[in-house]
Structure 1
Amino acid sequence: MNNIIKVANLSKRYASGFEALKGIDLTIRKGEIFALLGPNGAGKTTLISTICGIVRPSEGTVTVGGHDIAADYRAARAMIGLVPQELTTDSFESVRATVTFSRGLFGKPPDPGLIEQILRDLSLWDKKDAKIMTLSGGMKRRVMIAKALSHEPDVLFLDEPTAGVDVELRRDMWQLVGRLRERGATIILTTHYIEEAEEMADRVGVISKGQIILVEEKAALMAKLGKKQMTIELQNRIEAVPEALSPFNLGLADGGNALVYTYDSQAERTGITALLQALAEAGLRLKDLHTRQSSLEEIFVNLVSDR
């Protein structure tokens, strides 16, 4: 798959000596949804701002669609739509006018039909003539998204797009992301709602203290680092785990009425088969079995805490 964004040896140091980014290498594939996760202060927004040409790097290069963000800024920036965390727009302007103006900033010809479609997709059409200062916070967030889409970018950055907004906007936002992805757009998002990344993303990158510590296909990441847990309900209560079952590191649960077995994907087949056989040999009769898998949030927390 073609890479639409290439980041090589990217660093950002401020005059105070603080190093926000440290030698980052990253590629984003054309047409994918890439989730960038990390704790507060990890460097997510700095990385996005640098790729978008808002922050000047201390070292390294960034290209978007083959255009260097420094040497060929206008061409690179024209490919990018950015929805920042902060709500920054002209409070005294109408919704339709500010979105139309954003399109013009990129040298695009007027297209009232496109602007109407974007506003309708974001449930803003009935607010098209309202001044932005009269809108709720959620509606202002929708306007920011509409502005970012107005010039039909190939790459869309969503920096915490649903932070502090209502459930309806979150639903509309992710439906829109799905439609954009179907049209071939590349989407990079940061979010505190990790279940959104788990549902939407193709790949996941984790940044911590200015460094990318992991980039992985989401499914492969969950298979490799995710833990599975099987709860074995017993027909009869036991006081302790039988010695014969000690190799499986089982835990007692529900007051001795259940056993808990934690395993990874590699041990899934052989481990469960051996455990069930050992249970039978120990004379334990099963009542029921339940399994659950680690969420992406649990994997993320473990990665960052280990780091």
Structure 2
Amino acid sequence: MRAVWLGQALKKIREEAKLTTRQVGYHVGKDASTISRMESGDVSVPEAILSGIIEVCGVTDSHRISDLTIIRRDAAHGGWWDGYRRDVASTLMDRAWLESIATSIQSYETMVLPGLLQLPTYAEALMRNGATSASDAEIRRWVDMRMQRQIILSRYRPVKFTSIIDEQLLYRSIGRPDVMGDQLGFLLEIGQRPNVDIWVMPSTVCAGVTSSFEVFTLTEPYPQVGYVSTPAGDLCVEGETLDDLNREYDRLKEHSLAPERSQMLIKAAKDKM
């Protein structure tokens, strides 16, 4: 994702300069096909090459140069999630990176409680139900990564996390009864944090939205992006589709219970466990 964004930005400044990939390549000592692959995000962009492209394209705006430099740096360097590269899909690696640079995340959940709010026991029960052929070692790695992702909620300058969850998820038993009871207790606890808001969509409301989705507001220079869950996997969206998601999220909040009332509903569900 980072490499793709950098490539898109490089293509944009080249086209604004009315240059071909061959002309840019000649200036930086690369052939046209290599420049094309850089613009598509297929190959990395060394710092010296980026400087040369900026020069030949005549980019002088300091903010724009800074943005390109930041994106190139992020594309070239990984994070803690790289240690799980052999264990999880690349889309989950991208998600972990997005979470790490997000200032706020809004989620709507229809199937399971959000991963950022799951206890290890709940996460493990989910994974064992969904991946019956996975080994104990694989399950442990997946759970460990999910717990690592939750650091963003307690770090210095934590992410503002807002989640709308379907009321039915509070009563959907995952694993042993004590697992769900502990999980609901954790929701009550973490929902007290100033950076975490949990909104419950009453089961009496017809939301009209069947897919879970998330909206990430990121630090500069990155755009706001969304993730929509589909049967084929997570779909990353931007632009007009993301505008639709933002409007949909506002509508869903209007039909959900505010955090204070949601806490009461969660407590009632826990008391029934």
TM norm structure 1 = 0.29
Structure richer in helix, relative to its length: 2
Bigger share in strand: 1
